[in-house]
Amino acid sequence: MSSELRRAADQLRRASRVTVLTGAGVSAASGVHFRVEELATLEAFARDPRLVWEWYEWRRHLVAACRPNRAHHVLAAWSRLYPRFTLITQNVDGLHERAGTRNAVQFHGSLWDLRCAESCAGSPERWRDETVPFPSLPPCCPHCGGLARPGVVWFGEPIEPAVMERAVAGLECDVCVVVGTSAVVYPAAGLADEAQRRGAFTIEINPEPTEATRRFDLAIVGRAEEVLEKLQIGDRLI
């Protein structure tokens, strides 16, 4: 075992409060690869809601066939192992949830949630719909009959206050692990820094160094599923 892995394992063994921030690199081994810059905006949806929904329908179809990989399962085991565990994911694929992770904060929402595009007063504000494919596109709000939109955070949109509150609460931790994300897009990029300011030992796990690497207490170069598997045996840390 490398010295970096030994240091990480030592910190994780001694911790009782652990927070993990995950990005696209965690789902890569499950076959989830998407670039979302062009259509994941409110402006794109306003221009052509059907086109945006066709793209999300395609994503939902692909993700429905994917399965959680070893990284998801290791983190799910951590969520049962630690007295206080928070997982903050930037991914919208729902694979952490399917792996059984407890206390997962979906920072950017979920592909499987919908909400009213007109922000009507219907309740619940969000609803789960795992139908693939939809009977018709674009789907409608069940409350007002208007247009529904994906329950995700698009570029330029703020994080919902309740979601941000849960994420910030998780920063009171002993160890903060950032996995599979370059951590350069705010506000998610600032979470590990804030955890560090609050006294957490911070660990980065990525296939290659990032712009943020130098800010971490420890950086491990490797694929998420490979590194996490080396830190976990069953429901125990090595």
φ/ψ of 237, rounded to 5, equals: -80, 145
Q: Please tell me whether the overall predicted TM-score, pTM, comes out greater than 0.75 for this model.
A: yes
Distance CA 143, CA 182 (A): 39
Quick one: pLDDT at residue 34? 61
Mean pLDDT of 19-45: 84
Quick one: pLDDT at residue 121? 83
State yes or no: pLDDT of 18 exceeds 90.
Answer: yes
Among residues 72, 73, 96, 108, which one is catalytic? 108
Q: Tell me which DSSP letter residue 151 carries.
A: E
Q: Per-domain residue ranges for the chain?
A: 1-31+67-108+156-238, 35-65+111-152
Architecture of domain 1-31+67-108+156-238: 3-Layer(aba) Sandwich (3.40)
Query: What's the CATH number for 35-65+111-152?
Result: 3.30.1600.10
- Whether 1-31+67-108+156-238 and 35-65+111-152 share one fold: the answer is no
- For residue 2, give the nearest of 234, 230, 236 by alpha carbon: 230
Strand spans (E) along the chain: 17-22, 84-89, 104-106, 109-116, 126-128, 148-152, 175-179, 201-206, 218-221, 232-233, 236-237
Q: Residue 233: which pLDDT band, with cuts at 50, 70 and 90?
A: low
Distance CA 40, CA 36 (A): 6
Q: Is 108 a catalytic residue?
A: yes
Mean pLDDT of 64-76: 96
Residues above pLDDT 70, as percent of the chain: 95
